[in-house]
Amino acid sequence: MASLKVAFHTLGCKVNYYETEALKGAFRREGFELVDFQERADVYVINTCTVTHLADRKSRQAVRRAKKRNPAAIVAVTGCYPQVNPGELTSLPEVDIISGTGERLSLPEIVKRKLEGEDIAPLVTPYGQAAIFEDLPWVPEQERTRAFLKIQDGCNQFCSYCIVPLARGPVRSIPPGKGMEYLREMGRSGHKEVILTGIHLGLYGLDLEPPLSLASFLVDAVTVPGIERIRLSSIEPADFNEELIKVIKENEKICRHLHIPLQSGDDSVLKKMGRSYDTAFYTALLNRLREGLPDLAVSTDVIVGFPGEEKEQFLQSCNFVRESAFSRLHVFKFSPRRGTKAAEMIPQVAPEVKEQRSRMMIALGEELSRAFQEKFLGRELSVLFEKELEAGAGEDGSDLWMSRELRGEYRLSEGLTSNYLRVRALTAGNWRGKIGEVRIEKSFRGYLQGSLVRNTNVYDPAGHNNG
């Protein structure tokens, strides 16, 4: 009998993407064939996000698209949206299975039962303090150069705008032995960069017996053979203690890029957001981190239009963001989430004002990103190449696209530096998964261009070193 086809669609954060990969592995083990979400499948799994209204809407749109593609298919909705708001999804006629953020590994079996005609009630259990870390095993099908590893889940912070603690439950962490086992597997299968993810990553280990810290996990992680870079997905400002800062500074394998959510550059807004720091604390942290790490990239999240945010507070936030010289901004318009304190706060900011502030903040972010990447013109940077690009689409003026005569011999390769700069260079042969030194020559919107000057690969288990 032909195997059943399953297709996935993922919204939201890196943790969700990691979990989708794990789910793909679980379905494959049960004999399902993976197909693209655009194709006709027997089962569609939508791993949702609920951080804003927009995320909810996109999740519902994906549900409708799936059912339209194959009206006879089983559509399973999983993740944060059903965990927080199962009722809203039960009312959608296109949805067949609803599962929250716990016990996801049972999904393939549940789908099979549904295919056999069984009625399946929503699989959503509200979180209690006793929640345990669900081990969604890392699967080696992920792209070969970089791999995500989820080591932590949940958050106990309850910032006034954030629905995540309800969607994800309390802080819980992968046992260190298990985490190291996955890291060693990643190193063996040729992944040079690992991105450690979590919902509140800086609190890794707090729930373990005895308690551990992210710093102690990193001390072991940097010793894993084959892994040249360890990237941290996001760390809250208050979680940088001296131990963590020291480990980051002393280990070059830890990427020189930190994502430190700011949310607002105005102290009164930060207070209403329930954040545990003020701008003076944040600036002192940036100074401390940048001491001795001049190339460090710091990116951040900013919310505009928080309830009661006056024009002056927004402008103050812009000033602070500018002074902090972030390498990249992720800008969010405040979106009231039922069940959070901020949803009830008054006055709410008018949608058109939020829109205008968002556009201003995004423009500021682009300016800062440009300024940050231009600092590296003329420098040599280590690039981990992750893909080849189609040569020939030279709409942005890069001269790499004009050298048609070179195309047979050379490839146009793109990769990332340790401090998260996107770099393109011509390479002889396939450089995917390899690290090379690139002299940076030009800056374009969103990436740098340069010439490969050296191959610095230090570990190539598959022996693909043909650069």
Residues that bind ligand SF4 (CB under 6 A): 155, 157-159, 162, 164-165, 199-200, 236
Which is closer to ligand SF4, CB of 137 or CB of 274? 274
Q: How far is the CB of 333 from ligand SF4 (least distance, A)?
A: 15
- 399-403: long-range contacts at Cβ-Cβ below 8 A with a sequence spacing of 24 or more? 399/442, 399/449, 400/424, 400/425, 400/426, 400/449
Q: How far is the CB of 87 from ligand SF4 (least distance, A)?
A: 22
**Angle, CA 79 vertex, CA 78 and CA 83 arms, to 5°:** 100
Which is closer to ligand SF4, CB of 95 or CB of 201? 201
Smallest Cα–Cα separation from 384: which of 354, 414, 346?
A: 414
Q: How far is the CB of 196 from ligand SF4 (least distance, A)?
A: 16
Which is closer to ligand SF4, CB of 124 or CB of 260? 260
Cα radius of gyration rounded to whole Å, the chain: 23
Q: How far is the CB of 269 from ligand SF4 (least distance, A)?
A: 14
Amino acid at site 173: S
- Give the whole-angstrom CA distance, residue 144 versus residue 146: 6
Q: How far is the CB of 398 from ligand SF4 (least distance, A)?
A: 38
Q: How far is the CB of 60 from ligand SF4 (least distance, A)?
A: 23
| Strands, E assignment, 318-419 | 328-333, 380-389, 410-416
Give the torsion sign (CA, 181, 182, 185, 191).
negative
- Give the whole-angstrom CA distance, residue 222 versus residue 283: 28
Which is closer to ligand SF4, CB of 192 or CB of 337? 337
> Residues near 59 by Cβ (< 8 Å), separated by ≥ 6?
11, 46, 48, 49, 50, 77, 81
Which is closer to ligand SF4, CB of 157 or CB of 283? 157
Three-state DSSP state, 173 = strand
* DSSP code for 210: S
216's tokens: 């102690």
Contact (Cβ atoms closer than 8 angstroms) between residue 105 and residue 92: no
Which is closer to ligand SF4, CB of 123 or CB of 159? 159
Which is closer to ligand SF4, CB of 26 or CB of 199? 199
Q: How far is the CB of 332 from ligand SF4 (least distance, A)?
A: 11
- 52-55: long-range contacts at Cβ-Cβ below 8 A with a sequence spacing of 24 or more? 52/332, 52/333, 52/335, 52/337, 53/335, 54/335, 55/11, 55/12, 55/81
Which is closer to ligand SF4, CB of 200 or CB of 333? 200
Which is closer to ligand SF4, CB of 340 or CB of 413? 340
Q: How far is the CB of 149 from ligand SF4 (least distance, A)?
A: 19
> Residues near 98 by Cβ (< 8 Å), separated by ≥ 6?
76, 77, 78, 82, 86, 89, 90, 122, 123, 124
How do 43-48 and 5-10 pair as beta strands? parallel
Three-state DSSP state, 291 = coil
At residue 440, φ and ψ (nearest 5 deg) are: -80, 125
Which is closer to ligand SF4, CB of 110 or CB of 164? 164
Which is closer to ligand SF4, CB of 259 or CB of 424? 259
Which is closer to ligand SF4, CB of 9 or CB of 200? 200
Q: How far is the CB of 165 from ligand SF4 (least distance, A)?
A: 5
Three-state DSSP state, 277 = coil
Q: How far is the CB of 203 from ligand SF4 (least distance, A)?
A: 9
Smallest Cα–Cα separation from 467: which of 419, 401, 413?
A: 413
Q: How far is the CB of 262 from ligand SF4 (least distance, A)?
A: 11
Q: How far is the CB of 117 from ligand SF4 (least distance, A)?
A: 39
Cα dihedral 136/140/142/143 (nearest 10): 160
